[in-house]
Structure 1
Amino acid sequence: MNNAAADPLVGTTIDKRYLIEDRVARGGMASVYRGLDYRLERPVAVKVMHPHLAEDAQFTARFIQEARQAARLSHPNIVNVFDQGQDGDLTFIVMEYLPGITLRELLNDFGVLTWEQTLDVVKAILQGLDLAHQAGIVHRDLKPENILMADDGRIKIADFGLARAASHNTQTGQALLGTVAYLSPELVTGSSADVRSDLYALGIMMFEMLTGKQPFTGDQAVTIAYQHANASVPLPSHINPDVPDELDEIIRWSTLREPEDRPAHARALLDQIIRVEQDIKKRVAAGEPTRVMPAASDEADGTQILTRANEPRPHPGDDEPTEVLGRAGDVFAGLEVPDYAEASSTDTPAQAASKPRRGPGAGVWWAFILSALATIGLAVWLFAPQGPTVVTVPSMTGSTVQEAGDALQALGLVVSEELDQAFDDTVPAGLVITTDPESGVDVEEETMVTLIISQGVEPTALPPLLGLPLEESETRLTEARLTLGTVERKYSDTAPSGVITEVTNDAGVTIAPGTELDAEAVVNLVTSAGSLPDVEGLSVEQAQEALQEVELQGVVGGDGEFSETIDEGLVIQYSPSTHDAVEPGDTVTLTISRGPPLVTIPDLVGETIQDAVDALEDLGLEADVRTVLPEDSWSDSRAEVTSVEPAEGQQVPIGTTVAIRSFA
C-alpha cells in the first residue's frame, strides 16, 4: 500500500471518466489500478503502460492494436476489455475488475492442488481459449499470473492479445524467467506461435498445479529455454504419486515438443479432459486406486524415463534407454550452456561423500602456494601503475550465445546471466542481434554486457481490408509488413466498384482480419468491378453501351429466339451473365428477340366446328366462329367448316385470331 499511496496516478481521473483509486499490481509492461467508471458507475481495472514504453510509438501502436483485438472476445472465462485510449502521455486499457487472487497466489498459498481442483481450473481456461482460438487470437503468455480467481468462484484469463505487444519490448530478470518457464519449444526456437503453443503452456501449468513446482528450472533464461527446446516434460506422478495416470498422459500429450503431436485445438484437449475426469471418478467411486501402473524412473541416476505418445510406459527395472534430448534444426540443439549461465549449487550429502578427499599434505601445499600467489599479487597491485583497462565491445551479431559469451569473457568483460530478446528481420532466431552496451563502445574491464537474442522475424496480423479502396488496402498491407500478391476484379451486386471484396493467402484460402501471418507473407486481393447490367428489352446499341460501362463487349450471336414478352429486334439476354463466369474485358453474346413464336394454320376444312376450335386453341390461336348454327350443335357432323382465314399452311404468331366459317 505504501507504493500505491506514493503513486502519482492514485486519486487522479483519466480521460475525464476513470477515477484511479488504488494500485493493485505492477508488471514489466504496465501498472494495474482499481478504478471507478464515472459514466457507468461501475468498478473497473485500468492498466496503464509504463512511461518509458509509451515513448516507443511503434510499441504503443502495437499495444493499442492488440487491445482492440482482445476487446472482440466476450466469454465468461476471459477478462472483458471495455475501453482503450490515451490521455496525454498515458496509454491505458480499461478492463473488467475482478476482486480475488491470481492462480500464482493460490499456488503460493497452497503449494499443490488436488487433481479435481486442477481439472476445474483447466476446464475453465480451455473454455476461454477455445473461443479465442476460434477468433484467431493466440495468448502467447499463458501463465499462473494471468489466470484470475475471483472471490465468487469465477476463473478468467487475463491479458489476451497483449503478450505479442509485450514481446516486442525486451524483457529481463524475473519477468523473463517467469515467462520462459511456460514457453513452448517453437517459441524458444523462434518459430511462429499457434493455438498449440498455448496448450503447451497450459500443460506446464497443469504440471505445476499437481506438483507444486515447474518441470524446468534454472537461474538464467537460457538454461530454462534450453530445457524446453530439448527435454521432455517429466510426468507429474514421479513427484506426486497421487496424480492419476490419465493426467500423466494429458500433460505428456499437451507438452510434446513437436506442435503437430499436441492436441490440434483447445476443444480437442477439453473434450479429452472431460472424458478422463469421468473415467477417474468412476474408478474412484468403485473403490479402485487412482494410480493403475507404477511410475517409471531410472533408479540408477534418477533420470526420468519418458516414452513416445501412445506407447506404454516402462515399469521400474525394464531395460529401456532414456529418451535422447535434442531435435534437428532447433536453435538450441547441441548448445552447451555456457559457464556464466549455469546455476551454482551446493553438493548434496551423497555427492559430497562420493568426492575424493585430499590428504593433509596436499592441503598444506595448496595453502602455501595460495599464500605465495597472494603475496605476489599484492606486490603487483601496490607498485604497478594504477588505472582501469579499457576495452572496445566487439560486434557479436550473428554469433551463438556460447560464442558471444566466450569472446566477451576473453576480453575481460562480464556477461550478464539475463538474456534480452527482440524480433529481428535479418538475424535468425536464437543468435545474437547486438549487445548492451553496443559494439564499438569503449568500456572498462569487468563491465556487465547483456546479450540481446533474436526471436526471428516478428509475426504480424492481417489488418481489416474488406470494403476499403485498393490504394488504402495496399498501404495497410505495407504497414503490417505483408506482401501484396495478385489483384483480381470480380463483379458484385453488393459492393461498389473498386473496393476489396475478398482476401486470400497464397494457397487461395480466404483469410479473416486478425489472422496471424508470417512477416512478408503474400496476400491476394479481389476488388469489385461493380454489378452486371440488366439489358433485357434494350436495343442492341443501348445494351452494348451498358456493357461497355462495366468493361464488357457485347456482340450479337445466333439467329435470335422467339419471345412472347420481348418485341422483335430487342435484346433478350447476354451470356455468360453470372459473376463467376465473366471478368472485365470479356466479350459476351447478345441474344435478340424474334418476337412471338409462329405456328402453321392446319387443314381444318371438313372438320366439325368444335374440332376446329379445339385444334386452334391447342396451337395457341384464337378462333372466331362465323355460322348460323347454334353452339350446342357445333359437334354435329353436319356442322362442317367450309373455310378458314388465314388459310391453311400460313404461319402466324401465337395469339392470332383465325376466322372459321360454316354455311351448313
Structure 2
Amino acid sequence: MTTASHPLVGELVDGRYRVLRHIADGGMATVLLATDTRLDRDVALKVMRPDLAADQTFVSRFRREARSAARLSHPNVVPVYDQGEDEGRVFLAMEYVEGRSARELIDAEGALTPRAALDLVESILMGLSVAHDAGYIHRDVKPENVLIADNGQVKVADFGLARAVTSQTATADDGVLYGTVAYLSPEQVERGIADARSDIYAAGLVLFELLTGTRAIEGESPIHIAFQHVHGGVPAPSERVAELPAPLDDLVALATHRDPDERPRDAGQYLESLHAVREELTPGQLDRRPSGAAAAATAGAATLAHPRPSRTRALAATTTADHTPGATAAVPVGTQREDPPSPRRRGRALLAALLVLLLLVGGAGYWYVTTGPGGSVLVPDVAGQTRDEASTTLAEHDLELTEQTAFSEEVAAGSAITSNPPPETELTKGEDVTVVFSKGPERYEVPELAGTTPEEAKAALAERNLALGDATKQWHESVAAGEIISTAPTAGTELKRDEQVAVVVSKGPEPITVPSVKGQSADAAASAIEAAGLAVARADDVYSTTVPEGSVVSQSPASGTLVRGETVTLTVSKGPEMVTVPQVKGLTEAQATQKLEAAGFSVKVDTFFGGILDEVTATRPSGGQSVTKGSTVTILVI
C-alpha cells in the first residue's frame, strides 16, 4: 500500500497522533509514522487489522499485554508509549526507530562476520533478558522484529503485541506467516505453548541467519516448515558456510535443541554461553567475512528502513538583479539619485537606531523573562492524574516530567501521589518536575512452600519481603519429616511487607505400637491390628499341641512400633497333628520300638515274665487308633 492511498494518512488518531505516512503492513497490524501532537515527537503507530479488532478476546489480551510491555525499560527494547482505541481502531504507540531491520540488513549484506553477528545477537539477548527476568516472553523473535538504528543501537520490537497472539490463520499472504512459522519452536508447533526457552530457540535461528545469510529452515508451505521444526532439526551453520568455526555450530545447536529442557532456561543464561564462545574465537575467526557474502548496497552507507521526510526550510530571499560582471542596474524613469546625508543627519539617524535597538533588546529581554523561555511558572497540582495527564499538564506549563514510582495504600496504581517541587513552587520554564506515581498498595504474594524445609521457606519468603512465622509440627503419612505440610495464609495470598507466614512442619508418619495378639483367635487378632491402623498378613497355619486350633501361635513383629499401613504377620494354629498308631504286635521289642519312634511316638516298654520270648503281644493305644503325634505308646513284651 502506498503512502497516498492509505486511508489514515493525514488523520488525527485519538485526538493526538497525526498520521504522516504508511511504513509497512504485518500479519496483525499496519505500521504508520505519526507525530504525537501533545509531546511533539514522532512515533510508530501500530493499528490492528479490522478483522482482529472485531475479536474482543484478542483486543482484551492485546491491551493487557501492551500494558505489560510498557513496563519494560531497556536500551535494547522498543518502548511502548501508549495504547488505545479510536472509532473501532485499536492502536499501539511505540518509539519510532530510524534505521533498518535485521531482515533488511541480511537482505542487503548477506552473511555477516561472526563478530558482527554475535554483537547483534548479544543486544537481542540483553533486551530479551529484561523481559524474561520480569516474567514476560516475546513469542515472535525474528529479524523483522529486530531494529537497528542509524546510530547502531539494536532494539527488539513488538513486545506485548506478539504475546497477545494465541492463534494464527494459516495464510501465506505477503509472506507474513512464512516469516513467523520459520522461527516457531517445536513446542509452539506441537502444543501451542511457549516460555522463555521458545524465545531462545528463535534467537538461535536468527543467529544462524546472520552467520549464513540464509534461513535455517525453508519449505514450500507453512505446514512443511512447521513439520521440519518438529521432526527435521536445525542444520549446523557450517553446513552452509564451511569456514565457520565449530563453537558457532555448538552455540546455534544449544539454542535450537528440539527438547526445550536441553536449551538455556532464559536469555541471560544463553548470553553467558555466547560470551564464552566469543572468548574461544580468535580475532581472525571473529572478523573473517564468509566467502561469497553479499556486499552492502553502498560501501559505508547505512540503509534506512523507513527514511523520514525532510523538514521544509524557509529560504532566504534573493534578488533577481543581474549580477553579471559589468552589468549596470537600470534606474526607473523620474527617479533621481539623492545626495549623501550630512554628518549631522547621520548622527541623528545613528542615535535613533541605537534607541530602537535598546527598545528591541529590552523588549526581548522582558519577553524572555516573562512569557518567553526564561520566564517562570508555578508548578501545577498533578496529584491523582495519570502519567499522560500529568505529562500534558506539565507541558502546558512549559515544564518537563521526570517519573518515579512508589507504593501507596491510598492512591490507585498509575495515579500521581505527589511532585517535587510541590505545587505552587515557582520554577523557570523548561525545568524538570519529578512526579511520583503510585504502584498501588505494597503487596507480596505468598509463594508455594509445601515440601520445602523451614530454612528454604525462610529464604523464599525473604525474597518476597515476607517473614517466616510460627512453625507447628504434626504427624503426616506422606510428607517427609522436616518438610512443610501447609501455610497460613495459603500460597497466592497477597500480604503487606514483612508480614509473617505460619507453617505446619511434618514430624513424619506417626509411630504405632504393635498390639500383642498371641493366643487370640485369628479374627479377633486381625481386628485388633487393623484398629491400630496396621495391615494384617497371615502366614501358613501350623500344628500346635499348646495353642487351640484357630488361635494365633505367633506374630511378626511381636512388639515395637510400625508406621501406619505397615504389616503384622500372624501364624495361626491348626491344632495338634493326629497320626495312626502302627501295628507292632508280634514284633520284637527292638523292631516295635523302631517302628513306633519312626512314626513320631515315644515308646514305653512293659515286660511280662521278664520278656523271655521278646515278642510284643499288645500296645496301648492299640494299633490303628488315631492319636496326637508325639504321644507315648506302651508295648507289652513277653
TM-score interval, smaller chain: 0.3 to 0.5
TM-score, length-scaled by structure 1: 0.45
* Larger-gyration structure (1/2): 2
TM-score, length-scaled by structure 2: 0.47
